[in-house]
Amino acid sequence: MVKCMEDNQMIDFQKDWKLITVFFSAENLCSSCASTHQDNCSLESMERLTRVLDFLYQKIPKAFVNLVDSTEFRIFSLSHSDQNKISIASRTPCNCVDKDSKLDDIILRWSYQSDLEKLLKSGRYDVRDDFTIVLQPFLQEINLPHRTGWQVHGTSIPKTAEEITEEECSALGVGLWNNMVEPVGQKEHYHYAELLQAQCPSQEYPYLFTYRNSNYSSSSWTSEPEALSEERSYGTSIPCFDRNPSNTVPVSVHNLRPADIKVIGALGDSLTAGNGAGSKPNDVLDVLTQYRGLSWSIGGDENITTVTTLANILREFNPSLQGYSIGKGDQDSSNAFLNQAVAGAHSENVPSQARRLVDLMQNDTRINFQEDWKLITLFIGGNDLCRFCNDPVHFSPDNFTNNIRIALDILHREVPRAFVNLVTVLHIVTLRDIYQEKNVSCPRLIMRQLCPCVLNYDDNSTETKMLESFNRRYQEETYRLVESGRYDTKEDFTVVVQPFLQRVTVPKTEEGMPDSSYFAPDCFHFHQKAHSQAARALWNNMLEPLGNKTDAHFLETAITLKCPSQIESFLRTYRNSNYTYPNQTTPDNHGSQLLCEDRAPSSSSPTSVHALKPADVQVIAALGDSLTAGNGIGAEPNDIVDMNTEYRGLAWSIGGDASLKNVTTLPNILREFNLNLTGYSTGTGGASEPNAFLNQAVPGAVAEKLPDQVRALVRLMKSDPRIDFNTDWKIITVLIGANDLCNYCKDPNYYSAVNFTSRIQEALDILHAEVPRALVNLVEVMDLLPLRQMFLDNQVQCPTHLTGDLCSCVLPVTEGSQELVMVMEATRAYQNSTRKLVESGRYDTQENFTVVLQPFFRNTKIPLLQDGRADISFLAPDCFHLSQKSQSQLSRTLWNTMLQPVGEKMDFFDPKANITLNCPTPHKPFLGTYRNSNYTYPPLEPTNKPIQNWGSDLSCPAQTPSEGVPTSVHKLRPTDIKIVAALGDSLTTAVGAKATSVDDLQTAWRGLSWSIGGDGNLETHTTLPNILKKFNPELFGFSTGTEKETAGFNSAVGGAKANNMSTQARELVELMKGSLKINFKEDWKLITLFIGGNDLCHYCSDKETHSVENYVKHLQDTLDILYRELPRAFVNLVEIIEMAGLRQIERETSGCVIPGTTLCPCFLTPQESSPELQETKIINKDFQIKSMLMANTGRYAQREDFTVVVQPFFRNTIIPLDNNGKPDLSFFSMDCFHFTERGHAEMAIALWNNMLEPVGQKQSYNNFTHDRSKLKCPTPENPFLFTSRNSGLQNTTPAVGAGDPSVPYWAVILAAIAGVLVGSVFVGVLMSRKLKKHQQARNKATEVNLTAL
The residues annotated with a catalytic role in the active site are 270, 384, 525
DSSP per position, 1041-1072: SSSGGG-TTB---TT--GGGHHHHHHHHHHHH
Residues 6+ positions from 585 with CB-CB distance below 8 Å: none
* Residues forming a β-bridge with 927: none
Nearest CA to 450 out of 307, 275, 234 is that of: 275
Q: CA 509, CA 609: separation in Å to the nearest integer?
A: 82
Nearest CA to 1102 out of 1049, 1051, 1053, 1162 is that of: 1162
The H or E element spanning position 152 is strand 150-152
Three-state secondary structure of 601-645:
CCCCCCCCHHHCCHHHEEEEEEEECHHHHCECCCCCCCCHHHHHC
Nearest CA to 968 out of 1290, 646, 701 is that of: 1290
User: Which one-letter amino acid corresponds to residue 939?
Assistant: P
Residues 6+ positions from 1225 with CB-CB distance below 8 Å: 1145, 1149, 1151, 1218, 1232
User: Which one-letter amino acid corresponds to residue 925?
Assistant: P
Instruction: Give the model's pLDDT for residue 497.
Output: 97
1294 touches 1197 (CB < 8 A)? yes
Q: Is 770 helix (H, G, I), strand (E, B) or coil?
A: helix
* Number of Cβ atoms within 10 Å of the Cβ of 628: 31
User: Which one-letter amino acid corresponds to residue 246?
Assistant: S
Q: CA 1137, CA 1141: separation in Å to the nearest integer?
A: 10
* Residues forming a β-bridge with 152: 155
Helices 818-839 and 753-770 cross at an angle (nearest 10°) of: 30
The H or E element spanning position 854 is strand 849-854
pTM of this prediction? 0.45
Q: CA 756, CA 382: separation in Å to the nearest integer?
A: 50
Using only C-alpha atoms, the chain has a radius of gyration, in whole angstroms, of 38
Nearest CA to 1012 out of 1031, 987, 976 is that of: 987
Three-state secondary structure of 1231-1253:
CCCCECHHHHHHHHHHHHHHHCC
- Answer left, alpha or beta for residue 903, where phi above 0 means left and psi between -120 and 50 means alpha: left
Count the alpha carbons within 13 Å of 1097 in the hemisphere toward its beta carbon. Answer: 20
Nearest CA to 977 out of 603, 1251, 1254, 574 is that of: 1251
DSSP state of 1037: -
Helices 1108-1125 and 1061-1074 cross at an angle (nearest 10°) of: 10
Q: CA 1013, CA 717: separation in Å to the nearest integer?
A: 57
pLDDT in tens, 433-443: 999 998 898 99
| Helices (H) then strands (E): counts for the chain | 37, 19
Nearest CA to 1030 out of 954, 1100, 932 is that of: 954
Measured CA to CA in angstroms, residue 995 lies from 595, 669, 1000, 1003, 1021 at distances of 73, 65, 5, 8, 16
Mark the ranges of the chain whose per-residue pLDDT is less than 50: 28-37, 75-100, 144-162, 193, 218-231, 584-587, 1291-1349
Q: CA 766, CA 842: separation in Å to the nearest integer?
A: 12
DSSP state of 1140: G
Exposure of 22 by Cβ count < 10 A (0-12 exposed, 13-18 middle, 19+ buried)?
A: middle
Q: CA 198, CA 200: separation in Å to the nearest integer?
A: 7
- By DSSP bridging, strand 150-152 and strand 155-157 are antiparallel
* Number of Cβ atoms within 10 Å of the Cβ of 310: 26
Q: How many degrees, rounded to 5, is the angle at CA 767 between CA 765 and CA 773?
A: 130
pLDDT in tens, 137-155: 877 765 544 343 333 333 3
Q: CA 1154, CA 986: separation in Å to the nearest integer?
A: 16
First-last CA distance in the chain? 61
Instruction: Give the model's pLDDT for residue 160.
Output: 41
* Number of Cβ atoms within 10 Å of the Cβ of 251: 9
Q: CA 1344, CA 747: separation in Å to the nearest integer?
A: 13
Q: CA 270, CA 382: separation in Å to the nearest integer?
A: 10
Q: CA 856, CA 877: separation in Å to the nearest integer?
A: 24
Q: CA 199, CA 176: separation in Å to the nearest integer?
A: 11
Tell me the residue length of the chain.
1349
Q: CA 714, CA 1279: separation in Å to the nearest integer?
A: 49
The H or E element spanning position 448 is helix 444-450
Report residue 1134: phi and psi, to 5°.
-85, 125
Instruction: Give the model's pLDDT for residue 232.
Output: 58
Residues 6+ positions from 441 with CB-CB distance below 8 Å: 220, 221, 224, 282, 516
